[in-house]
């Protein structure tokens, strides 16, 4: 009986570890409001550049491909914003110093490594670096589907050139795995104690 119980727990952990991230990461076709964070590359820590982005992102999914629109604050300072495949400017508000950019993403569960350049002439700051856009797809439910509407008229401009950056991701639900392992350990220990008391 113990062996069967342990086998069931181990198989459940394996199946949930593989199936859970993929099942929760799929967005249905439509327009969604998706939370995201701008992280340092290969890190879960927020980048200083996170403050240059308005949250949430507007994500339109069609046939499995996501078109992401995000708003950049202090857009005059951001002289380069280049995700893989490039980005186009949808609209710009010079008085508010914001710019809406759009780009496509094949897999929102993986961080989108993006090249940025910040130029602030007043303080002689000119720096180019990479950031990872990490979308919280798992927390996006069907209730976030909205109708697309823009208050500003879109004015498409040129598309920036492509940058080939590797994308990495780790969507493993570690807390869930630890909870399952802990439960399995407690069940096993309880069975051992019961067996030793019977002897």
pTM tops 0.75 = no
- Tell me, what CATH number does 110's domain have? 2.60.40.1850
- Side-chain-side CA neighbours of 148 within 13 Å: the count stands at 14
Q: Over the stretch 77-96, which tens digit does the pLDDT of each residue have?
A: 999 999 999 999 999 999 99
**Buried-exposed string 30-41: b where 16+ CB fall within 10 A, e elsewhere:** ebbebebbbbbe
End-to-end CA distance of the chain: give it in Å, rounded.
17
Q: Over pLDDT 70: what percentage of the chain?
A: 68
**How many separate domains does the chain show?**
1
112 occurs within a structural domain: yes
Residue 98 lies in a domain: yes
Q: How confident is the model at residue 16 (pLDDT cuts 50, 70, 90)?
A: low
pLDDT tens digits for range 180-194? 788 888 888 888 887
Question: How confident is the model over 147-188, as pLDDT tens digits?
Answer: 333 333 333 333 333 444 444 445 556 777 777 788 888 888
**137 within some domain:** yes
pLDDT the model gives residue 147: 37
Residue 66 belongs to domain spanning = 26-168
List of residues 6+ apart from 133 with CB closer than 8 A: 36, 37, 38, 39, 70, 83, 111, 112, 114
Structural domain includes residue 175: no
**Within a domain: residue 149?**
yes
44 vs 3 pLDDT, higher one: 44
Cβ burial of 53 (10 Å; 0-12, 13-18, 19+) is: buried
Structure token digits, residue 142: 């069907």
- Domain-located, residue 12: no
């Amino acid at each position: 009986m113990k062996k069967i119980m342990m086998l069931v727990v181990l198989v459940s952990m394996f199946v949930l570890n593989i199936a859970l991230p993929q099942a929760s990461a799929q967005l249905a076709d439509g327009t969604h409001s998706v939370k995201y964070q701008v992280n340092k590359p290969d890190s879960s820590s927020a980048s200083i550049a996170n403050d240059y982005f308005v949250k949430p992102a507007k994500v339109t999914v069609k046939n499995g491909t996501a078109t992401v629109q995000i708003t950049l604050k202090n857009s005059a300072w951001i002289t380069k914003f280049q995700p893989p495949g490039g980005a186009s400017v949808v609209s710009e508000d010079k008085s508010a110093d914001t710019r809406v950019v759009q780009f496509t993403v094949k897999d929102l569960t993986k961080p989108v490594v993006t090249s940025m350049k910040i130029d602030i002439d007043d303080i002689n700051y000119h720096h180019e670096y990479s950031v990872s856009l990490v979308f919280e797809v798992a927390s996006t439910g069907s209730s976030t589907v909205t109708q697309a509407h823009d208050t500003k008229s879109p004015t498409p401009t040129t598309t920036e050139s492509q940058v080939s950056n590797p994308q990495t991701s780790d969507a493993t639900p570690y807390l869930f795995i630890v909870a399952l392992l802990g439960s399995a350990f407690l069940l096993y220990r309880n069975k051992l104690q019961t067996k030793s008391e019977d002897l």
